Chain A
Amino acid sequence: MTEDTAARTLLRERIYGQILRAILDGTLEPGLRLRDDELISWLDTSRAPIREALAQLAELGVVEMSPNRFTKVAQVSPLLYAQSAAVWATLVTRAMHWGILAFPADELATLESLNAELDEVDPADFPPGPTVIDRFVGQIVKHCSNVVLLDSIRIHNALLQLGVNSYKGFMKSEPIHAYFTELIRRCRDHDVTGFEAGMRVFLAGPMHDFVEEMTVYYGYEKYEGSYGARPAE
C-alpha cells in the first residue's frame, strides 16, 4: 500500500507540474475552462489524479473552481507570485529550522560546493529547472522530518521555481551567497539561535528588493503584505 501511495503521489506531482507549466507559459490562457475530458486525453491519465492536481492548483490560486464544477485558469500575476513566495519562505524557514538541527556533518561539503557554484554564476544565466539556490535550500530542508510541512512547501515550490525562471534577471547573487555562508555555519553547529530573526532580515532585504522590483516593473502596486514593509502613513 505504501508503494501504491508513493506511485500515486508521483503521478499527481507530474500532472500538477504539467498543468502548472502550461498555465505559466501561457499555453493555457487565463479564463480558459479546463475540461476533465480534454485534460484526460492530454495528460493520458484518469480523472481522479487530475481532480487532485486541480485541487492543489486551486490552493495555489492558479486555477479557480466555480459553480457547476467548472474549473478555469486564473490570472497569474507577479503579485500572486510574491504572495506565494512569502508563504513559501515562511514554511521553508520552519523546515530549515528543523533541517539545521538535524544536519549531518558529512553533507557540509555539498553545501560548500553549491555555494561556490552560486558565487560563479549570474542568476540571469540560471538554466531552467531547480536553481542552485533551490538545491542549496533543498539540501537543508530534506533533513526536516515534518511531512505535513514539506507537503505544504511542495505545493508552492513549482510556482516559485517557474517564477524565479521568469524573473531571475532581477536577482542578485552576492547577498544570497553571503547569507548561505552563514547558514553553512549554522548547519555545522546545529545552531538555530536567532535563525528565524536572521531569516526575516534577509527576506526583508534582498528578497524583498527582488519581489518589489519585479512587481513595480510589471506595473503592479508595491506589494506591502509580504515581508513587513509598513504602508506609508
Chain B
Amino acid sequence: MPVPRNKPLEADTTVPARRLLTDDVFDRLSDEIVRGFLAPGERIRDQDLAARLGLSRATVRTAILRLTDVGLVETVPNLYTRVTPIDVERYLQTQDTVRALHVFAVRYGTPLLTAEQIGALRDWAVHLDARDEVDREAIFNGSTVRNFLTVFQEAMRNRPLDRTMSRLQPHLQRVMGQYSHLMPARQVDAALRAVVEAAAAFEADAAAEALTAFYDGPLAVFHQRLAEQPELVGE
C-alpha cells in the first residue's frame, strides 16, 4: 500500500522554540521517579494525571511511552502502568553502555573544546575538592552531567550521540542518586579532576584513559557496594 500523498507538503510555520507539553510531563514524572518520590510498583494512571495536570490524555500518554522507553515505568498491556523496580542488572548494563559512549565523547570531544568550554570545565572541577560525600542533588537535577559530560558532547555536535545518551541517563541518575552515599567521594573527585586536567591540556588520549580509570576505580567500588545492599539482591 503506497503512502498517502494526496495532501500537499505543508511548510512548517509553527516553529517557536517552545517545549512540548509532553516534555514537561516527562521531566516531571522522570524527576519524581529518579528521586524515589514515586516508589517502585506505584501505579501511573494516565486519566488521573491528565485531569490533575489539566492536559489531554494523549499528551500524558506520549510522556508515559517515553518513560517506558527509558525504563522508568513498565506497562502490563491492558492492565496498568507502574514504576519499575530498581533493577541492578539493568543499571549495570546501562552504565556499561554509557561508559563506552562517555569515553568516546571525551576522546574525540577534547581536541574540539573551545577556551570557553575549558574554562567552564575548570570552574566545575574546583568544587571537586576531596569532599566527604558526592553531591546527591547535582546527580538528581542533572547538573553533574551538564557541567561535565555534556561539555564534551557539545564540542562534538553529534546529535545521535546526544539522543542516545539522554535516553540512558535517567536510569543512571536514579540509582547513582539514590545510592550516592555508597560512592567513594574522594576517589571520585580525584578521578574526575584528572579527566578535566588532561582535557584542559588537549591531551585527548590521557583524558580518555583518566575517565576509564574512573570507571575501573571508584565506580567499580560503588558497584561492589551496591551489590552488597540487601534490598537490591535478587529479583
Determine the chain B residues whose CB is within 8 A of the CB of A33 once the complex forms.
Answer: 10, 12
B9 CB contact (under 8 Å) in A32, A55, A91, A149: A32
- Contact among A51, A91, A149 with B62 in the assembled complex (CB-CB below 8 Å): A51
- Hey, what's the 0/1 contact readout for A75-112 against B, CB within 8 Å counting as 1? 00000100110110011011000000000000000000
Is there contact, CB below 8 Å, between A83 and B159? yes
Size band of the interface chain B makes with A: 35 or more
Chain A contacts for B108, CB-based, 8 A? 86, 225-228
Interface size on A, residues (CB 8 A): 53
A55-B69 in contact (CB<8A): yes
Chain B proximity of A141: nearest CB distance (Å): 13
Interface-lining segment among A58-66, A123-131, A164-172 = A58-66
- Asked if A224 is at the interface (CB within 8 A of a chain B CB), the reply is yes
Interface centre among B16, B90, B164, B167 (most CB of A within 10 A): B164
Q: Given the known inter-chain contacts A29-B9, A42-B4, please indicate yes or no for A60 contacting B160, CB distance below 8 A.
A: yes
- Contact partner of A72 among B12, B18, B161, CB < 8 A? B12
- A69 CB to nearest B CB, Å: 7
CB contacts (< 8 Å) of B69 on chain A: these are 52, 55-56
**Complex A-B, nearest 8 residue pairs according to Cβ-Cβ distance, in ascending order:** A94-B100, A148-B93, A90-B104, A59-B163, A149-B97, A83-B158, A84-B160, A146-B93
- The answer to whether A65 touches B101 (Cβ under 8 A) is no
Question: Which B residues contact A (CB, under 8 angstroms)?
Answer: 1-4, 9-12, 14-16, 18-20, 22, 58-59, 62, 65-66, 69, 76-77, 90, 93-94, 96-97, 99-101, 104, 107-109, 111-112, 156-161, 163-164, 167-168, 204
Chain B interface mostly: helix
Question: What are 16 contact pairs spanning A and B, CB under 8 A?
Answer: A32-B9, A41-B1, A60-B163, A67-B14, A67-B16, A70-B14, A87-B101, A90-B104, A94-B97, A146-B93, A146-B97, A148-B96, A148-B97, A224-B112, A225-B156, A225-B157
**Residue A147, interface by CB 8 Å:** yes
Asked if A231 CB lies within 8 Å of chain B CBs, one says yes
Name B11's closest neighbour in chain A (CB-CB). A31
A-to-B contact residues, CB < 8 Å: 1, 4, 8, 22, 27-29, 31-33, 38, 41-42, 44, 48, 51-52, 55-56, 58-61, 65-70, 72, 80, 83-84, 86-87, 90-91, 93-94, 146-149, 152, 155-156, 224-228, 230-231
Q: Which A residue sits closest to B90, measured CB to CB? A: A148
Q: Considering the chains assembled together, what is the distance between the CA atoms of A31 and B12 in angstroms?
A: 8
B100-A93 in contact (CB<8A): yes
